[in-house]
Structure formats: C-alpha cells, structure tokens
Structure 1
Amino acid sequence: MRAILLSGGLALLISLLGTRFAISALSARGYGQEVRDDGPTSHHTKRGTPTMGGLVITLSTLLGYFLAKLITESRPSASALLLLFLFVGMGFVGFLDDFIKIVKQRSLGLRSKAKMIGQTVVALVFGLLALSPMLEDEDGRTPASAHLSFLRDFGWTLPTVVVLLLIWFLVTGFSNAVNLTDGLDGLATGCSILVFAAYTLVNIWQRNQACGGDLAVGKCYDVRDPLDLAVVSAAITGACFGFLWWNASPAAIFMGDTGSLALGGALGGLAILTRTELLLLILGGLFVMVTLSVMIQVSVFKASRGSALFRRVFRVEPGHRVFRMTPLHHHFEMLGWEQVTVVIRFWLITGLFVAAGLGIFYAEWVAGS
C-alpha cells in the first residue's frame, strides 16, 4: 500500500510542477495547438495553446512509479512493465502525430493509416509479450490470459491469434476513444482520473482476494501482479490529477494525442492484465458513448447519401446527420451548452459509469461468497 500512495502522490506533485514548466518551454518553442476549421467557432480562440502535455503525464507516471519502487525497495513486476511499455508506446505514436501537426502547421498529423499501423504494432508487441511463456510466474501464469473475461476469466481457451485480435481491438479501440473524447478543456483528463482510480481500487481488491490459502477458486481472483498494477494505475491517476490543474477551463495546455492515445492504451492494457475486458466497457462507458456517436454519425450520413432504400425506410434526406456535430460533446456545444457545463456533466456521467462498474464488481464477489 505504501508504494500505491507514494506513486500516486509523487506523480501528482511532479505533474503539477512539471506542467507549469512545460507550458513555458512549449510556448517558447511555438509548439501550439492547431484547431480544425470545421469545429465549433468558439474553439478558434484556443489556437496556439501549448500542446503535447501528454509528455508530462507520461514522465510523471514513470517517475512516480519507479521512485515508489525505489523507496519501498521492491522490484517491478512483468505486468507493470508491460503496462508501462504500452502506455509509453501509444504515447510515442501520439507524439509523432502532434509533432507533425506543429511542424506542418495543420490540424491533422499522421495519416490515419500510419497512425493505425503504429498503434497496431505497439498493441501486438504488447499482446505477444503478455502471452509469452517466458513471462510465466512460479504458478505458471502469464500477464495476459487466453480467455475472454468480464470480472474474471470465463469460457473456452481461445487460440492465440484470436486473443491477439481481441487485445488489438481493445487497446486500439480505447486508445482512439480517449483521443476522440479529448476535445474540450479538461474533459478527457477528468474522465481518465475517475476510471484509473476505479482500476486502482479493483487491483487492490484483487490483491486482497487473490487465489491461494483458504479462498475457494470461485471466490478469488487469479490475476498476476495486481498490487503492482495498482501502483501503475495510481501513478497515472496522480499524473492526470496534477495535469488537470492546468488543463481545466480555460486550458493553459492540452495533452494532445501524446496523452490521449497513451491513456486509452493504458486503459485497454489494464483491462487485459486484470482479466476485466468487458467490465471496461462499463467503467469507460463515457468513452464508448463518444465513440459510438462518431460511428453512428458517419454510418447514417454515408447510408443516407448512397442508398435510396435507406432514405425511404427512415424518411431522411441525403446526407442526414443524427447529431449536429460529433464527437458527442460538440453536439451539446452546438445546442448552446457552455463548454464547462458539458465537461462537468460528462464527468458526472463517467462517475455514474464508474459507480455502476464497481458496484457490479463488488456485487459479484458478494454473491459468490
């Protein structure tokens, strides 16, 4: 528990102080945010705000984690190192995207195919290592499981190719979901704090109820390194908390894709390593909602333009839009909501999803006791 508190506290302090330094350093080099021209006009005032603040979140997390391990004189686990690899790897892909935006002075960085290739490489390397027999512990457990999981593993053992496909889908899916959510001051940061804090609690509970001793198999959690995963998730929570001080409206710095891709990838990695893949869909329900809004908007728009049958059945005009603008938070902006109102209410929705997910997690354990 000391390591958890230390990693979270140190990461928060480093992020809080480091972000202030980053704002000055990035501003001096002209590393400012480019704004999409088709977005809400109120966002044009944000042009030039320092971006790539995700570098601070990443460095604060790494320093918080490793300093906590050094102070407590404990060794990093394979699961924690894999999660940090995924976190940094996805952040590097995002950094390339942000850097190209700055150099080219445009709102689009890496081409979508190039970005997906980078995310895919990082996700598959993570998956292969997490399933590798070389990383088995003394009980024969690899960091990741060959089963699908909700609150714990269930069903048949899946072929390695299928497992890698699921890992790729979850990691890249949530990486892009957090990236889509990062469109208003403090929105993605605040939502991430709540979800990573929830995973810290989940990891602590899994450690306290780990299989072994007098606990029956149905009442325990067969997860490798849950306590060390809690140290990492606490560090990310603290780093985001410190960053939010400067990222809240009016934002003095943006995390950019450097931060959003890293945070989303880490969420997917935590779900895989804690055997809670499907539970993440509830805990991270706000990110799922935002992503679905984009998918629905694009699908309906294309179908209404290309299919006369679709237009007749649903009685819509060509180029019909379900939302005024996507991602979802921009829809509410276009309805006249203030940015701060949208952000706070989305935080509250995230809190409800997190409460529901933790409630289901605990209720299942109580029911099995």
Structure 2
Amino acid sequence: MRGVFIAAGVALAVSILVTPYLIRFFARQGFGQEIREDGPSSHLKKRGTPTMGGVAILLAIWLGYLLSHLITGETITLSAMLVLGLTTALGIVGFLDDFIKLRRARNLGLNGISKIIGQVLIATIFASVALNFANAYGLSPASVNLSFVRDISVLSFGAIGFILWANLIIAAFSNAVNLTDGLDGLAAGTTALVLASYTIIAFWQGRNACVLTNAAGCYQVRDPIDLALLAAAGMGGCIGFLWWNAAPARIFMGDTGSLALGGMVAGLSIVTRTELLLVVTGGVFVVEALSVALQILVFRTTRRRVFRMAPFHHHFELAGWAETTVIIRFWLLAAMCAALGLGLFYSDWLSFSPIS
C-alpha cells in the first residue's frame, strides 16, 4: 500500500513541477496547438496554446513507478512493464503525430494508415508477450478468455483471436481518449477517475489473489499489486497535469498524452482480466467514440446530423453550455461510471464471499 501512495505522490509532484517548464520551452519553440476551422468558434482563441504536454504525464508515470520501487525495494514485474511499455509506445506515436501537425502548422498529423499501422504493431507485440511469458506458476499476464470482472472461461478466443481482441481494445480506447481530449481538462480529469478505479481494482485483486488454487472468489491475476502501483502513478500524473490543463488551459496534452493514456487504461483492463468492465468504468470514453461513429454513419446514409457536432461534448457547447459546465458535468458522469464499475466489481466478489 505504501508503494501505491508513493507512486501517486511522486507522479503528481513531477507532473505539477515539470509542466510549467514544458509550457515555457514549447512556447519558445512555437509549438502551439492548431485549431479545427470547423470547430466551435469559441475555441479559435486557443490557437497557439502549447501542446504535447503528454510528455510531462509520461515522465511523471515513469518516475512515480520507478521511484516507488526504489524506495520500497519491491520487484519490478513483467505485467506492469508491459502496460508501461504500451503506454510509452503509443505516446511516441502521438508525439510524432503532434510534431508533424506543428511542423506543417495545420491540424493534420500522421495520416490514418500510418497511425493504424503503429497502433496495430504496438498492440500485437503487447498481446503476444502478455500471452507467452508465464511465471513459475504458469500464469501469464493476459488470458485468452473474454473477461468482465474476471475470466469467463467458457468464452475463449484462442491465441490469434486474443491478439485481434487486444488490438481492438487498445485501438478503441486510445482513439476514444483522443476524441475526448477536446475541452480543457476533460480527458485528464476523466482518465484520472478511470485510473483511480483501476488502482482500487488491482489492489483488491492483490489482496484476494490465488495462484496455485482456484478457490471461489479469488483472482488469478498476475502481479496485481504492481499494477495498482502503476495505475496510481498514472492517476497522479493526470491530476498533476490537470493543474495546468484545467480551463483556461495553459497547455494541452496532445496526442502524445491522449493516445498514451488510452493505451494505459486498455492495457490495465487486459492484464487485470476486466476488459468488458472498462466499457462501464470508461463509459464517457465509450459515449464520445460512439457519438462520432453514429454521426458519421447517419450523415453518410441520410445526409443529416444526429448531433450539432461530434464528439458529443461539442454538441453541448453549440447548444449554449459554457465550456466549464460541459467539463464539470462530464467529470461527474465519469465519476458515476467509475463508481458503477467498482460497484459491479465488488458485487461480484460479494457473491463468492462468506458474508454474502
């Protein structure tokens, strides 16, 4: 438990302290955000705000995780390093996307095919390693079974099917967080809440883990305590960044941060065997992504729009809501989704507990 608090505290401090230096450095380099011309007119004043702030979040996560291990003396685990590697690799893809946008001075970075190739390659490596490196007890970081709050043993993908499933989850949530990152602090605050729920989930799994037996109610998850520590570092990094990213934002996380954080929550869901539960805890991300898909589908078939603008948060802006009102209400929805996810997780455990 001490390591979890250290990871969160160090990541929060690093993110708060490093971000202002990035703001000044990126401002001197002219690394200012380009704004969509077809977006809400109120956003045009944000043009030139420094971006690529996700660098601070990634640095905070790494330092929070590593310093926690240095202080506590705990062993670094494969499961956590896999998720951390996934997070960092997707952050690099996002960084390239942001950098190209800045160099071309327009809101278009990597083309769609290049970004998809990068995500597929990273997700395939993650999934392959997660399946094929078992510990001394034969437990791998990931399972070929579909999972909700734990493995559903009767629904198995097989190795190839699992790799495809992991690709879908990672691509879906990395892009969903990217779509959510359209208002000051919206993605950072929402992700912090999702990662807080995963800190609790992974820690609870660690307190009720089983390796050699399949006793009722226990969790066959590899390295859960270390995953809780990593999730806490991610949460701390998001909260620290939010200090500077809250409206009116002095820096944006860019694709560097949004793709990385989306990959992090997806990776945590895979290694904690809670992939379908992420649809609940990350409900705001799901709605944001679905709003874009629905808008495109309906417009292409009927030439009419379901929403004033997609992603969903822009619909409310164009309806006359103040930006801060949209952000705070979406944070409240994210908190309710995280609480519902935790409730489902805990109710499953209660069904096995002697006190039920």
Q: TM-score, normalised by structure 2?
A: 0.97
Structure 1 residues not aligned, in runs of 5+ = 305-318
Match of residue 346 from structure 1 = 330
Residues 326-361 of structure 1: CA deviation (Å, up to 9, x unaligned):
000000000000000000000000111111110010
Match of residue 8 from structure 1 = 8
Alignment of 1:241-256 (within 5 A): 241-256=239-254
Match of residue 26 from structure 2 = 26
Q: 1:10 to 1:364 in 2, by over 3 A?
A: same
Pairing 1:203–2:202 present: yes
Alignment of 1:264-279 (within 5 A): 264-279=262-277
Q: Which of residues 224, 227, 244 in structure 2 aligns to 1:226?
A: 224
Contact 2:137 2:211 in 1 (8 A): no
Counterpart CA distance in 1 for 2:25 and 2:76 is 32
Pairing 1:115–2:115 present: yes
| Matched residue SS, 1:148 | strand
Residues 222-262 of structure 1: CA deviation (Å, up to 9, x unaligned):
00000000110000000001000000000000000000000
Counterpart CA distance in 2 for 1:207 and 1:11 is 22
Q: Which of residues 293, 297, 321 in structure 2 aligns to 1:337?
A: 321
How far residue 219 of structure 1 moved from its aligned partner, in angstroms, is: 1.0
Counterpart CA distance in 2 for 1:273 and 1:163 is 12
Structure 2 residues not aligned, in runs of 5+ = none
Match of residue 96 from structure 1 = 96
Match of residue 71 from structure 2 = 71
Counterpart CA distance in 2 for 1:216 and 1:97 is 45
Pairing 1:131–2:131 present: yes
Q: Which 10-residue stretch deviates more, 166-175 or 215-224?
A: 215-224
| Matched residue SS, 1:35 | coil
Counterpart CA distance in 2 for 1:216 and 1:114 is 43
Counterpart CA distance in 2 for 1:127 and 1:211 is 23
Alignment of 1:182-193 (within 5 A): 182-193=181-192
| Structure 1 residue identity aligned to 2:122 | V
Residues 92-121 of structure 1: CA deviation (Å, up to 9, x unaligned):
000000000000000111111111111111
Residues 265-296 of structure 1: CA deviation (Å, up to 9, x unaligned):
11110000000000000000000000110011
Alignment of 1:34-183 (within 5 A): 34-132=34-132, 135-154=133-152, 155-183=154-182
Counterpart CA distance in 2 for 1:364 and 1:157 is 20
Counterpart CA distance in 1 for 2:331 and 2:307 is 21
Between the two proteins, the alignment pairs up a number of residues equal to 352
Pairing 1:320–2:304 present: yes
CA RMSD between the two structures: 1.0
Pairing 1:258–2:253 present: no
The alignment-based identity, stated in percent, is 52
Contact 2:53 2:254 in 1 (8 A): yes
Counterpart CA distance in 2 for 1:12 and 1:251 is 18
Counterpart CA distance in 1 for 2:55 and 2:214 is 44
| Structure 1 residue identity aligned to 2:79 | S
| Matched residue SS, 1:217 | coil
* Runs of 4+ deviating beyond 3 Å: none
